[in-house]
Structure 1
Amino acid sequence: MHIHYISEQNSILNHFLAQIRDISIQKDSMRFRKNIERIGEIMAYELSKTLEYKPVTVQTPLGLKPTTTLADHVVLCSILRAGLALHQGFMNFFDEAENGFVSAYRHHYNQDDAFEILVEYQAAPSFQDKNLILIDPMLATGQSIVAVLNQLHLEQKPKEIHIAVVIAAPEGIAYLEEHLPKECHLWVAALDERLNEKNYIIPGLGDAGDLAYGSKL
């Protein structure tokens, strides 16, 4: 797997990452969503450097200008509901992309820490021979991403698979490397220390879906 750690070089990205973690700032859900959206824009820009472009000539009011424009077809696919704000950031840059949405969640079948991933809702276009960008803010165990890709990737073959996450745990990255094709790209805004006994990212930021959209039952 090709892994891209975006925050290794200091940029405004680290400023937004600090704010979404800060318990005194993240209580403002609108600001939290906006910061996640901004992070999505930065990640989309960095990812765009790896795509294919084609030469075009643009007619300006005063003449002709040779330049390049995106040649690849892109499908943005988010895991509900936490992925929505990050999805918006990617969509701000890939404004001609097709869009898909999939629900995946931890089902605690014994009412304890053990769980399985349930994928129940799916609305996605064809991504045959297109660049599939799967978007999810938190990469903890990695099981949700693998379950969703297995659900989506039954009959269609994307040109490339990109996975975009804001915060990742080493355990989740190792799980993806074990279960996904080597040619996949993983884009990580920040790498954290570990998972705790409940498989939550430490130090993390809490529940991204709850912080963005309110607590759930």
Structure 2
Amino acid sequence: MEVITVEHPLIAHKLTKLRDVTTDSPTFRRLTDELVTLLSYEATRDIRVTQTEVQTPVTRMNGTALTTPYPLIVPILRAGLGMLEGVTRLMPNAEVGFVGMARNEETLEPVTYAERLPRDLSGRQCIVLDPMLATGGSLGGTLNFLASRGADSITAICLLAAPEGIEKVRHLTEELDVTTRLVVAAVDERLNENGYIVPGLGDAGDRLYGLAE
């Protein structure tokens, strides 16, 4: 799995504001949306294209068009929903699938509670959205799930990642015959004893949408 940390002053600035405990939910949602749009430029660098001919006001020319079907965008519920518009802004015609996973706070393992995806993803590129790559179970499980349905290229976009989570996803996907990439704004220091990223930014889902208990 290739890991790409996107270094840019705007990304660093917006990520710092996200980390700030005083940032309220509306501002957190806006900053997340802006960050994902910036990260999406890198995440879509290898998007599949074809040549097409167009008529300009002056002459005809050969240009570039995205191939169809477009990549399938897969936010991991619920926090991944806060990243969705940042990607669909660039690809408004893209299909969207959903995977719902919750972390068992005792075992730190993911539990799947919802799924809405095409049964056949043969030859499809997929873009998975998950703000925090912490323990790696949810993301690794999702990548395996997509590969089992035939996806042949999967890029995950995360705001933050912990080294432990990166290694877990590498381990979970090392046997897959699928091109996998991880695009992040930053790789943080570590996980704490509760499985949260340090220094991190807290629980992304709660900061996006408030507590849901």
TM-score (structure 2 length as normaliser): 0.91
> What's the offset of the Cα at 1:51?
2.0
**Could you tell me which of 18, 24, 39 is aligned with 2:16?**
18
In structure 1, the residue matched to 2:92 is 95
Could you say what secondary structure the match of 2:97 adopts? Answer: strand
**Could you tell me which of 173, 178, 199 is aligned with 2:171?**
178
Segment drifting more, 199-208 vs 119-128: 119-128
- Measured against aligned partners, the alpha-carbon deviations of 1:28-79 in whole angstroms (never above 9, x if no partner) come to x111111111111111111222222211122234432322122263000011
How far apart are the structure 1 equivalents of 2:91 and 2:185?
A: 18
Stretches of structure 1 lacking an aligned partner (at least 5 in a row): none
> What's the offset of the Cα at 1:117?
1.4
- Measured against aligned partners, the alpha-carbon deviations of 1:145-170 in whole angstroms (never above 9, x if no partner) come to 1222334443x211201111110000
Correspondences of 1:19-34 after superposition (within 5 Å) = 19-24=17-22, 26-27=23-24, 29-34=25-30
How far apart are the structure 1 equivalents of 2:109 and 2:168?
A: 15
How far apart are the structure 2 equivalents of 1:190 and 1:77?
A: 21
Question: Quick check: 2:99–2:114 contact (8 Å CA) kept in 1?
Answer: yes
Amino acid at match of 1:162: T
Amino acid at match of 2:16: A
How far apart are the structure 2 equivalents of 1:150 and 1:54?
A: 28
> What's the offset of the Cα at 1:186?
1.0
In structure 2, the residue matched to 1:83 is 80
**Could you tell me which of 47, 62, 65 is aligned with 1:66?**
62
Verify: 1:167 aligned to 2:167, yes or no.
no
In structure 2, the residue matched to 1:6 is 6
> What's the offset of the Cα at 1:80?
0.6
How far apart are the structure 2 equivalents of 1:150 and 1:160?
A: 12
Could you say what secondary structure the match of 2:79 adopts? Answer: coil
Q: How has the CA–CA distance of structure 1 residues 140 and 160 changed in structure 2, closer, same or farther, with 3 Å as cutoff?
A: same
Question: Quick check: 2:78–2:100 contact (8 Å CA) kept in 1?
Answer: yes
Stretches of structure 2 lacking an aligned partner (at least 5 in a row): none
In structure 2, the residue matched to 1:40 is 36
- Measured against aligned partners, the alpha-carbon deviations of 1:55-107 in whole angstroms (never above 9, x if no partner) come to 11222344323221222630000111101121210111122211011110112
Question: Quick check: 2:108–2:195 contact (8 Å CA) kept in 1?
Answer: no
**Aligned residues with identical type, % of pairs:** 35
How far apart are the structure 2 equivalents of 1:152 and 1:48?
A: 18
Moved >4 Å (runs of 4+): none
> What's the offset of the Cα at 1:176?
0.9
How far apart are the structure 2 equivalents of 1:202 and 1:100?
A: 30
